């Protein structure tokens, strides 16, 4: 029998024997249950400050905020070391890394054995979703990192109440920092075993197991099995002057401004009419069909794990305001003179005397914008912050039913191909529109088109099973959603011949979202094009903007040659996914090509 340092929060035998087995393997000195109390969290923060794991920031300027630095070789999710270990490779598909589960368990066992010697194992029960709601799922993360515990306390609903809701279907997560050896770093999902194992990393996305590992990879697998959807989507509510609120979800690959859209500030023209925006989620949506036949969404998380660089008063004042208290900053720059933090883009000029994200004095003279390695904050530096502190958090954030969705928005970063917005003809076409999502790097100054990365529904790194079967699940869901949301694609990043962005973006994206909501309400006509329905240019409100109707026409133009080229790359990508791609996706592709060649 193992000895717990404090009261055990469950007597569930499956849980206890799993903890026993994991403890026998990792051999911690102590085992501590995390109860979610402020006293325990505060004691852990103090302990982490005493060892240097955390640095306490200025209590006046940033109350209850801390800085953490990861190892320099451990600063991002590592897709190359992330595995989906299903019994057969076919179940995981060609897009995921796969290894035979028995082989992977044996490999991991070696890495975990004795890895917690001299350390404490924390047992953290948590819920993704509001405890007690139909959506909620319970997990337990075992970790040897206080940083992980404190992040999970922000990002999930963790502690005693979650422990009370545990049953045998709980998701098992084991995390050990071990030697933080990148050559032996593994982030592994065993979907059939409800199990996540992460070793040799201390960085957010690899170790905050409730987030990508559970709420997307494992949950997408469970969603398919149980008839719901786990998606990499923000959830946003738009309040009209009459007080009604209409909700949309949006899936975007990284670097497309997803957190900014989730917390957008309405342009003046709408603000003065009384429009407001409410954030339900910035990263993950769990979606179920309601008894009214509509699709309902919850955000299973309790916090935001956002990218810091580029966040400022202009780009995202709501996110910035959220980080002003009870926040953990990871790999940002430190300003010892006043105990605050800084990152590129926070202010025009950096304060003097910064310590860079690696802990060394930063020399601004050596900073070169084009070379990210010279930055004071790591380009993927983060804030972990509480949703409840967000000024525009929705009052439905804690709702057990979630919110009904009128529109699903897909988007990517395309210099030329995708127009500002288009609507799919129906659910099947909408699934295709999501399946062909892509983002490309743009050499902005030269206007050159960069490399295209296909990222279906922004789920490429997060689908817990074969991508072809994931498309099939979307099609199947379409058959049971009687009143489905409309599906759109947007591109905020269209450039002119000189490579300048044409659309202002940020809060002005609301102008496009409002057109979508009008479509959903049947209040506005659209023009049928080769790729789907587009707005009449005059239906995009440009009042107060520095652009003309001609610019909107340009933003909506369809470059048939570029699209036909794109079709070739889509066909190659579908071939890469393999023979699980549903025939319906090829039918849509054929139709698109035919339309473009007409
Ligand atoms: C994230 C990501 O951190 O998508 O949200 O990478
Ligand atoms: Mn994400």
Return the percentage of the chain with pLDDT > 90, whole number. Answer: 93
The bound ligand whose nearest atom lies closest to the alpha carbon of 304 is 1
Q: Is the pLDDT score of 376 beyond 50?
A: yes
Give 296 Cα–ligand 2 centroid separation in angstroms.
20
Report the pLDDT averaged over residues 12-24.
98
Q: Which helix (H) or strand (E) holds 171?
A: strand 171-176
Q: For ligand 1, is residue 202 a contact (CB within 6 Å)? A: no
> Tens of pLDDT along 533-545?
999 999 999 999 9
Cα 242 to averaged position of ligand 1 atoms, centre (Å): 35
The residues, ordered by sequence, that sit 6+ positions from 372 with a Cβ below 8 Å of its Cβ are 379
CATH 3.90.228.20 boundaries in the chain? 231-301+395-597
The per-type count for the chain, helices as H runs and strands as E runs, is 17, 28
Residue 295 tokens read as 């699709």
Instruction: From 397, 462, 383, select the one nearest 154 (Cα to Cα).
Output: 383
Residue 416: predicted pLDDT: 86
Distance between alpha carbon 525 and the CA centroid of its chain, in Å? 33
Closest ligand to Cα 78: 1
252-297 pLDDT, tens digit each: 998 788 999 999 999 999 999 999 999 999 999 999 999 999 999 9
Q: Find out whether the beta carbon of 283 lies less than 6 Å from any atom of ligand 1.
A: yes
Measured N-to-C along each axis, helices 583-597 and 560-577 cross at an angle, to the nearest 10 degrees, of 160
Nearest residue (CA) to ligand 1, atom 3: 205
How does pLDDT run across 545-577, given as a tens digit for each residue? 999 999 999 999 999 999 999 999 999 999 999
* CB-neighbour burial class of residue 144 (10 A; exposed 0-12, middle 13-18, buried 19+): buried
pLDDT of residue 371: 84
Indicate if the pLDDT at residue 445 is higher than 60: no
Cβ(489)–Cβ(529) under 8 Å? no
How far lies 509's CA from each of 258, 311, 322, in Å? 11, 17, 21
Least confident segment among 27-36, 295-304, 362-371: 362-371
Give, for ligand 1, the residue of 283, 284, 303 to mutate: max count of ligand atoms closer than 8 Å to Cβ. Answer: 283
pLDDT of residue 487: 98
- pLDDT single digits (tens) 32-78: 999 999 999 999 999 999 999 999 999 999 999 999 999 999 999 99
Atom of ligand 1 nearest to the CA of 382: 3
> How many Å lie between the centroid of ligand 1 and the Cα of residue 592?
31
CATH number of 231-301+395-597: 3.90.228.20
Ligand 1 mean position, distance from CA 551 (Å) = 32
Closest atom of ligand 1 to 254 CA is 4
Q: Is the CB of 254 under 6 A from ligand 1?
A: yes
Residues belonging to the active site: 256
pLDDT band at 517 (very low <50, low <70, confident <90, very high): very high
Q: Which atom from ligand 1 is nearest to the alpha carbon of 232?
A: 4
- What pLDDT, in 10s, does the model give residues 316-329? 999 999 999 999 99
The whole-model pTM stands at: 0.97
Mutate to test the pocket of ligand 1, among 204, 206, 212 (most ligand atoms within 8 A of CB): 212
Domain with CATH 2.170.8.10 in the chain: 304-389
Going by CA atoms, what residue is nearest to atom 5 of ligand 1?
Answer: 283
pLDDT digits (tens, 9 = 90+) for 572-586: 999 999 999 999 999
Whose alpha carbon is nearest atom 2 of ligand 1? 254
Q: How far apart are CA 594 and CA 263, in angstroms?
A: 39
Q: Of ligand 1's atoms, which has the minimum distance to the CA of residue 204? A: 3
The answer to whether the CB of 253 is under 6 A from ligand 1 is no
Residue 451: which pLDDT band, with cuts at 50, 70 and 90? confident
Superfamily of domain 304-389: Phosphoenolpyruvate Carboxykinase, domain 2 (2.170.8.10)
pLDDT mean over 238-245 = 98
The reported pLDDT for the residue numbered 2 is 77
Q: Which of 353, 114, 402, 71 is nearest to 231 (CA)?
A: 402
Is the C-beta atom of 205 inside 6 A of ligand 1? Answer: yes
For residue 493, what pLDDT is reported? 94
Ligand 2 center from residue 121 Cα (angstroms) = 28
313: left (phi over 0), alpha (psi -120 to 50) or beta: alpha
Nearest CA owner, ligand 1 atom 4: 254
* Residue 443, pLDDT score: 43
pLDDT digits (tens, 9 = 90+) for 98-110: 999 999 999 999 9
Which ligand is nearest to the Cα of residue 439, counting in written order? 1
Ligand 1 centroid – CA 58 distance (Å): 28
- How far is the centre of ligand 2, averaged over its atoms, from the C-alpha of 283 (Å)? 5
Q: Identify whether the C-beta of residue 394 lies closer than 8 Å to the C-beta of residue 237.
A: yes
Q: Quick check: 447 pLDDT over 90?
A: no
Please name the CATH architecture into which domain 13-51+80-226 falls.
Answer: 3-Layer(aba) Sandwich (3.40)
Q: Is 282 in the pocket of ligand 1 (CB under 6 A)?
A: no
The pLDDT > 70 percentage for the chain reads 98
CA of 254 to the centre of ligand 1 (A): 6
Q: Beta 171-176 vs 137-143: how paired, if at all?
A: parallel
* Separation of first and last alpha carbons in the chain: 73
pLDDT band at 441 (very low <50, low <70, confident <90, very high): low
Closest ligand to C-alpha of residue 307 is: 1
Place 446 in a pLDDT band, splitting at 50, 70 and 90.
very low
Helices (H), 180-276: 204-207, 219-226, 258-262, 268-271
Please provide the average confidence, as pLDDT, over all residues in the chain.
96
Q: Taking residues 192-202, what's their average pLDDT?
A: 98
Residue nearest to atom 6 of ligand 1 (CA): 254
């Amino acid at each position: 029998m193992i000895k717990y340092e404090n009261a055990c929060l469950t007597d569930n035998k499956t849980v206890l024997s799993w903890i026993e087995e994991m403890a026998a393997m990792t051999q911690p000195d102590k085992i501590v249950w995390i109860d979610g109390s402020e006293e325990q969290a505060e004691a852990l923060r103090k302990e982490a400050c005493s060892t240097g794991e955390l640095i306490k920031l200025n209590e006046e300027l940033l109350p209850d905020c801390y800085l953490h630095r990861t190892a320099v070789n451990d600063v991002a999710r590592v897709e190359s070391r992330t595995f989906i270990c299903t019994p057969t490779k076919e179940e995981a598909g060609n897009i995921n890394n796969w290894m035979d589960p028995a082989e992977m368990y044996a490999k991991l066992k070696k890495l975990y054995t004795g890895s917690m010697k001299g350390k404490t194992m924390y047992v953290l029960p948590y819920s993704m979703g509001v405890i007690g709601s139909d959506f909620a799922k319970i997990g337990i993360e075992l970790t040897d990192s206080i940083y992980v515990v404190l992040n999970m306390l922000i990002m999930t609903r963790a502690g005693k109440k979650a422990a009370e809701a545990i049953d045998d279907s709980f998701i098992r997560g084991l995390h050990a920092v071990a030697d933080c050896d990148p050559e032996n770093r593994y982030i592994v999902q065993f979907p059939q075993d409800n199990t996540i194992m992460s070793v040799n990393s201390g960085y957010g996305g690899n170790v905050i197991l409730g987030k990508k590992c559970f709420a997307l990879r494992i949950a997408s697998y469970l969603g398919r099995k149980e008839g719901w959807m786990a998606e990499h989507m923000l959830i946003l509510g738009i309040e009209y002057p009459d007080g009604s609120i209409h909700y949309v979800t949006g899936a975007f690959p990284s670097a497309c401004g997803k957190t900014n859209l989730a917390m957008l500030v309405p342009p003046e023209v709408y603000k003065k009419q009384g429009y407001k925006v409410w954030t339900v989620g910035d990263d993950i949506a769990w979606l179920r069909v309601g008894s009214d036949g509509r699709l309902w969404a919850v955000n299973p998380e309790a916090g935001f794990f956002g990218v810091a660089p580029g966040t400022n008063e202009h780009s995202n004042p709501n996110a910035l305001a959220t980080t002003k208290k009870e926040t953990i900053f990871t790999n940002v720059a430190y300003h010892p003179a006043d105990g605050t933090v800084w990152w590129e883009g926070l202010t025009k000029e950096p304060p003097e005397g910064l310590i860079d994200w690696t802990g060394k004095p930063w020399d601004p003279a050596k900073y070169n914008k084009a070379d990210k390695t010279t930055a004071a904050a790591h380009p993927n530096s983060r804030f972990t912050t509480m949703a409840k502190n967000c000024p525009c958090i929705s009052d439905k954030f804690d709702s057990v039913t979630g919110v009904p969705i009128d529109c699903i928005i897909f988007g990517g970063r395309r210099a030329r191909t995708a127009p500002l917005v288009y609507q799919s003809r129906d659910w099947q076409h909408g699934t295709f529109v999501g399946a062909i999502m892509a983002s490309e790097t743009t050499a902005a100054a030269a206007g050159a088109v960069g490399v295209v990365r296909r990222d279906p529904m922004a789920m490429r790194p997060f689908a817990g099973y074969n991508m072809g079967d994931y498309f099939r699940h979307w099609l199947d869901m379409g058959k049971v959603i009687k009143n489905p949301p409309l599906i759109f694609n947007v591109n905020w990043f269209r450039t002119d011949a000189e490579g300048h962005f044409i659309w202002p973006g940020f809060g002005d994206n609301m102008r496009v979202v409002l057109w979508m909501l009008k479509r959903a309400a049947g209040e506005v006509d659209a023009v049928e094009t080769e790729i789907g329905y587009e707005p009449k240019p005059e239906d995009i409100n440009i009042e107060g903007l520095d652009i003309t109707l001609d610019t909107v026409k340009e933003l909506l133009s369809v470059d048939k040659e570029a699209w036909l080229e794109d079709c070739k790359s889509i066909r190659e990508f579908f071939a890469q996914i393999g023979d699980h791609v549903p025939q319906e996706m090829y039918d849509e592709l054929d139709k698109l090509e035919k339309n473009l060649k007409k």
